[in-house]
Amino acid sequence: MKSADKHPCVLLVDDNTAVRESINLLVTSLGWVAVEARHAKEALEQLLKHRYDLAIIDIRMPETNGIELCHLICAHPTHSIPKIIILSGYVDQAYRQAALTAGAKLILEKPVGRDALREAFKAQGLPYES
């Protein structure tokens, strides 16, 4: 999904409404259009409907966690695969390795601020507004 003015689009996946809204504000301040999903099933449905440039996924969610969702996104043959950033309240080496193996490009620790997100976008070659 792209907006009419061709801004890049991100799928935000987190079971916590406040976190989704906070990340939504951050990514829109960087010039992105954001679509929110509350869980993995909703995220997969969105990926079938629209094309996303990026997915920002919480690592700890009920039913299907972020690492499992990352595997599902990368293995799905019928949609384009966005770059994936995993968000976590804590990042230990086992989670980091599992997320990267599953297809994530980067792991960010919560809470994440605008500067950290902008640097992550820059490191991944993603466009952003200053």
Query: Can you give the pLDDT of all 130 residues of the chain as single tens digits?
Result: 444 457 899 999 999 999 999 999 999 999 999 999 999 999 999 999 999 999 999 999 999 999 999 999 999 876 678 999 999 988 788 988 999 999 999 999 999 999 999 999 999 999 999 8
Q: For residue 39, what are the CA distances in angstroms to 18, 43, 60, 66?
A: 14, 6, 10, 9
CATH topology classification for 9-116: Rossmann fold (3.40.50)
User: Which DSSP letter does residue 72 get?
Assistant: H
In this predicted structure, what is the pLDDT of residue 3?
Answer: 42
Structure tokens at 123: 């490191």
d(CA 8, CA 121): 12
In this predicted structure, what is the pLDDT of residue 130?
Answer: 85
In this predicted structure, what is the pLDDT of residue 5?
Answer: 56
What does pTM read for this prediction? 0.92
Cis peptide before 82 (omega within 30 of 0): no
Domain boundaries, the chain: 9-116
In this predicted structure, what is the pLDDT of residue 4?
Answer: 42
